[in-house]
Amino acid sequence: MTDLVVRRLLIDLEKPFARHWCGGDAFRTAFFNALSMSFPIGEQFFIDSVRNGYKALPAAEQPKYKAEVQGFVGQEATHRRIHSLFNAHLEQQGLVNAWGPRAQRRLKLMEGVHPLHWLAITAANEHFTAIFAEWMLKNSDLLDDAEPRLKTMWLWHSAEESEHKSTAFDLYQALGGNHEWRIRWFRRITFIFLGDTLRQTINNLRRDGTLWRWGTWKSGIGYLFGRRGLLRDSCGPWRDYLRRDFHPSQQESDLSRRWLADNASAYTAVGA
Ligand SMILES: [Fe+2]
Ligand SMILES: [Fe+2]
């Protein structure tokens, strides 16, 4: 069990930010913006999955998970709030979030489905998030040219994703979730997540008027497939999830703890 601290981030998101806030780079900005657009709907689904999974546990099992579930819900609720503020600026900039409404329509199909399936979907998404979070913390210098408060926002979110990456997975196991369904949902989520990220990034670039610029594609290829490329680096950790004996804690590092310790002035602990 992890002690999950809920933190209030001390950044001002009232002030607008530049259109290409990520180092003047159209691709990277559009990519991060796309991910952020999925968070308010996605993270609400994760919260509901974990809450419902917890309630489905036998009463005697619940105390063991209580604090972690509360911490998870608190962290994801804070992420939703901050990213909603961020997304409101994107809307002002003329970007259109097609991912959120599409995800909402898809999630409607999950109504009445057993909590184990919700948890398998959440655990799969949380694995993606954890891989990306770890990569961001490892390559935090790639955000050095970004607007400082937004760099802080992305790294804080990454640090917390890394902290709570086992919660949905553990509940899935505790409820007796099997390997086959865990993998089946993981494969589906891989297609859905990558497809949605690509579609929304392209949508953002088109509205930004930078889709057909050579520099955009050059940056995208380098960022995803280059020497330290995100997709290139993520294949191994992605594949690990398929192992029968996989557990998220096997991909532990101290990057999250270190960032939180080095940036303690960027947040306050809620309820501390
Ligand atoms: Fe989150
Ligand atoms: Fe999460």
- Supply angle C-alpha 117, 121, 122, rounded to 5: 115
Q: Whose CA is closest to 92, among 33, 145, 163?
A: 33
Query: 76 C-alpha vs ligand 1 centroid, how far in Å?
Result: 5
3-state secondary structure of 57: coil
Ligand that comes closest to the CA of residue 40: 1
Query: 94 C-alpha vs ligand 1 centroid, how far in Å?
Result: 25
In this structure, the chain runs to a length of 272
Q: Whose CA is closest to 132, among 222, 197, 203, 184?
A: 197
Which residues have CB less than 5 Å away from ligand 2 (the ion)?
161
Ligand that comes closest to the CA of residue 39: 1
| 184-234 confidence digits (pLDDT tens) | 999 999 999 999 999 999 999 999 999 999 999 999 999 999 999 999 999
- Percent of the chain residues topping a pLDDT of 90: 97
Query: 164 C-alpha vs ligand 2 centroid, how far in Å?
Result: 6
Query: 42 C-alpha vs ligand 1 centroid, how far in Å?
Result: 9
Query: 63 C-alpha vs ligand 2 centroid, how far in Å?
Result: 21
Residues 6 or more apart whose CB falls under 8 angstroms from that of 253 comprise 134, 137, 138, 162
Banded pLDDT at 1 (limits 50, 70, 90): low
Query: What is the rounded average pLDDT of the residues 96-118?
Result: 96
Query: 197 C-alpha vs ligand 1 centroid, how far in Å?
Result: 16
| 232-251 confidence digits (pLDDT tens) | 999 999 999 999 999 999 99
Banded pLDDT at 56 (limits 50, 70, 90): very high
Query: 24 C-alpha vs ligand 1 centroid, how far in Å?
Result: 25
CA R_g for the chain: 18
